[in-house]
Structure 1
Amino acid sequence: MATKSDNRLIAEKRTEFGKGAARRIRRDHKIPAVLYGHGTDPQHLTLPGHDTMLALKNPNAILTLVIDGDEQLALAKDVQRDAIKPVIDHVDLVIVKKGEKVTVDVAVHLEGEAGPETNVVLENNTLSIESDPMSIPESIVVSIEGLAAGSQILAKDVTLPAGSTLIADEDLLVVNVTAQVTAEELEAELESAEAEAGIEKDEPEAAEDGDAAESTEE
């Protein structure tokens, strides 16, 4: 069974391949997978469906695969999910060795509130970092508390968890804080855009004299 502490999965070796075999595996509520890396030949595996889905709720979870009684650490590099159903179609796994570092994309989580009358735009919702596989952070917390309009946070400004190293471009824009647009400014921008596009607004039609007179008589 998969647990939050070790994400232990019993994996079976596959001997059948192709779309038909993959469909049969999924009908049995299991997931086809391939394990590769460190110069070894790819291993085609079958993983338990429910336990694997639980383990992969954290996209950078380190899995302990039990294959023919032997344990192997692995990291999911590509998870193919069904476009409609909440199921996993296939998983690509890469072998992980203790003591080695791995490169992963970790979600950015904003904390706090920016200054008044500002808009906060998360320009990049993940950061690429290098980390020990046994201590990959679930998220990277970035504080926006009190930031004024015009403030920007670049990748190099982000404080990473201990043991992690930034792989992304140092000048990558992560957070952009802008001033809120007033209704008048928005209307002016809309009118300017319409004018550039050659769109003319229809003027409201004035009431005809006859209609006005008729209304007065009533």
Structure 2
Amino acid sequence: MPEVKIKAESRNEFGKGAARRIRRAGLVPAVLYGHGSAPVHITLPGHELMLALKTANALFDVDLGDRSELAIPKQVQRDPIKGFLEHVDLLIVRRGEKVVVSVPVVLVGDAAPGGLVSLEHTALSVEAEATHIPGQIEVSIADAEIGTQVHASDITLPRGVLLQDDPEVLVVNITAPAAAEAEEEAEVAEGEGVQAAEGEAGESGEDTD
């Protein structure tokens, strides 16, 4: 994965008011930490950061002025309504170092006609070199027939990438539409049964007073 060079500025203002002022200036408050270093509170250019974070597990080359650090996003906070970046935690990494990250799963190709494709697991936890984290994990479903199931252990990972999830976790399930509808109806019926049982329990409790 290519490195994203980004210029950081130090910050010494904290709190909600300071964060709002920083964001109004087109910047995003962030913290850089890891490898035993004291956390460094910085701001990053909002537009460049937004573009870089469109790639999962982007690798940043953070320019701190007196030095630079390689880092990956550890936590990204967004406004729940407007979606703008509120804060980013960056974890310092070293070349050759192994890290565990979540990588999105992307389906490739079209299943055989008539099948309903369900992506049951949208991302996989893997271990990879910090400078060679895959942007996505591709799973081919080309011409896959109804009844096909793809588990984590069935997926061929890029060289040097090791699965950290349960190998038996179901990632892709291809079913007949009727079977999917029946399963959904069964789940609804089960939920209604639980609610009814809880209601009866509540009424029974009232009678004992």
TM-score range, shorter chain: 0.7 to 0.9
In structure 1, what residue type is equivalent to 2:11? Answer: R
1:53 aligns with 2:50: yes
Task: Give the number of the structure whose alpha-carbon radius of gyration is greater.
Answer: 1
In structure 2, what residue type is equivalent to 1:84? Answer: I
Distance 1:55 1:173 in 2: 30
1:123 aligns with 2:120: yes
Distance 2:160 2:125 in 1: 14
- What is the aligned residue count? 186
Matched residue, 1:172: 169
Matched residue, 2:202: none
TM-score for both structures, normalised by structure 1: 0.79
> CA offsets, 1:149-188, max 9 Å, x none?
2221100100111121101111111001111229xx87xx
Q: Which runs of 4+ in 1 moved over 4 A?
A: none
1:11-22 equivalences in 2 (<5 Å): 11-22=8-19
Matched residue, 2:103: 106
SS of 1:134's partner is coil
TM-score for both structures, normalised by structure 2: 0.82
Matched residue, 2:139: 142
SS of 1:51's partner is helix
CA shift, 1:98, in A, is 0.6
Distance 1:116 1:57 in 2: 32
In structure 1, what residue type is equivalent to 2:52? Answer: A
CA RMSD of aligned residues (A): 2.1
SS of 1:26's partner is helix
Distance 1:87 1:117 in 2: 39
Distance 1:69 1:42 in 2: 16
Distance 1:178 1:90 in 2: 41
Distance 2:74 2:56 in 1: 9
CA shift, 1:86, in A, is 4.3
1:1-218 equivalences in 2 (<5 Å): 5-181=2-178
CA shift, 1:133, in A, is 1.7
- Whose relative contact order is higher, 1 or 2, with alpha carbons under 8 Å and at least 6 apart? 2
> CA offsets, 1:40-95, max 9 Å, x none?
21111111111111111112000010112311000001111122334210001100
Identity of aligned residues (%): 51
In structure 2, what residue type is equivalent to 1:116? Answer: P
Contact 2:2-2:59 within 8 A present in 1 as well:
no
